[in-house]
């Protein structure tokens, strides 16, 4: 048993090392003085932060744009998805199953189809090269996903809790805001986390709906950055490291909420 346990541990460490090696190499190259990404030592013995200085100077604005768009998409998606999920979970709505089926079907539509349709509409509405336009575009993926996730959680909330709040004098909106939303905190955090990750890593909408440098997410900036600074991979890798930090922080902070239950002890 001990040999089997040691063997499983060693195999797990080796697999983890293989999976994390690209991340390590990205950080290693970002700390090099500059040059190729191949002819560099295995360890950053000659540490240099010039790549990060260049990345912040050239891509700092794009990072801020991505952060604003991602947070805006999370807020907008949850504002729309939470009431919709509650209605689908607890209200007797005729055709609710067909609505859910339509939401599932919408997740199967190729992104390039949505992007092309939005480009024509945005061109007429004047939303091209705008942060609100990117927020709305990215929310087309965040809202359906959030509805499915939050509805599954809200479906397990006992209606007796809501009815007790109504008996105490709370209106439907007050009961929803004060009772249902706090009990659905873990579901909302989970939906918000994945919506943020979807938006932060979006490339298709950024490429289709932005044509100027004024509004350019970091994914598109990094794509164009490679063609400009391909001889200085330390700056490119430094940009990639900076772009990974918000996602890593959110995953570390929110991981304990993702798999947690939402209704434990609610009836009590």
What's 85's domain CATH number?
A: 1.10.3720.10
Q: Is residue 253 part of a domain?
A: yes
| pLDDT for position 103 | 85
> Which range of residues forms the domain containing residue 220?
51-258
Q: Is residue 46 part of a domain?
A: no
What number is the average pLDDT over the span 218-231?
A: 76
Rounded percentage of the chain residues whose pLDDT exceeds 70: 91
pLDDT digits (tens, 9 = 90+) for 80-123: 999 999 988 887 777 777 888 888 888 888 888 889 889 989 99
pLDDT digits (tens, 9 = 90+) for 140-154: 989 999 998 898 888
| pLDDT for position 6 | 79
- DSSP letters, 116-136, are HHHHHHHHHHT-TT-HHHHHH
| pLDDT for position 254 | 79
Q: Is residue 212 part of a domain?
A: yes
Q: Is residue 31 part of a domain?
A: no
Q: Using alpha carbons only, how large is the chain's radius of gyration in Å?
A: 23
What number is the average pLDDT over the span 55-68?
A: 92
Q: Is residue 18 part of a domain?
A: no
- Could you tell me the pTM of the whole model? 0.85
Q: Is residue 22 part of a domain?
A: no
Evaluate if residue 265 carries a pLDDT over 60: no
Q: Is the dihedral of CA 105, 107, 112, 113 positive or negative?
A: positive
- pLDDT band of residue 75 (cuts 50, 70, 90) is very high
| Number of separate domains in the chain | 1
Q: Is residue 61 part of a domain?
A: yes
29-33 long-range contacts, CB within 8 A, separation 24+: 29/233, 29/234, 29/237, 30/234, 30/237, 30/238, 30/240, 30/241, 31/234, 32/233, 32/234, 33/234
Evaluate if residue 133 carries a pLDDT over 90: yes
Q: Is residue 219 part of a domain?
A: yes
Q: What are phi and psi of 203, to 5 degrees?
A: -125, -35
């Amino acid at each position: 048993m001990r040999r089997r346990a040691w063997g499983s541990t060693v195999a797990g460490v080796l697999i983890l090392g293989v999976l994390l090696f690209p991340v390590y190499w990205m950080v290693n190259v970002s700390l090099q003085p500059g040059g190729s990404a191949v002819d560099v030592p295995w360890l950053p013995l000659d540490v240099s932060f010039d790549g990060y200085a260049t990345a912040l100077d050239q891509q700092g604005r794009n990072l801020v744009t991505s952060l604003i768009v991602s947070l805006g998409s999370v807020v907008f998606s949850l504002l729309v998805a939470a009431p919709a999920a509650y209605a689908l979970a607890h209200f007797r709505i005729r055709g609710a199953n067909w609505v859910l089926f339509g939401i599932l079907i919408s997740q199967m539509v190729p992104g390039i189809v949505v992007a092309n349709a939005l480009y024509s509409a945005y061109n007429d509405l004047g939303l091209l090269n705008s942060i609100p336009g990117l927020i709305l575009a990215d929310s087309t993926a965040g809202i359906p996903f959030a509805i499915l996730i939050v509805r599954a959680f809200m479906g397990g909330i006992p209606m007796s809790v809501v009815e007790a709040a109504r008996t105490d004098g709370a209106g439907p909106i007050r009961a929803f805001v004060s009772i249902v939303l706090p009990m659905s905190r873990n579901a909302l955090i989970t939906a918000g986390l994945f919506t943020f990750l979807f938006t932060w890593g979006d490339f298709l909408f950024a490429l289709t709906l932005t044509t100027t440098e004024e509004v350019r997410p970091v994914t598109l900036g990094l794509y164009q950055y490679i063609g400009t600074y391909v001889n200085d991979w330390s700056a490119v890798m430094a940009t990639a490291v900076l772009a990974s930090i918000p996602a890593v922080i959110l995953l570390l902070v929110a991981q304990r909420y993702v798999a947690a239950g939402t209704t434990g002890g609610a009836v009590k």
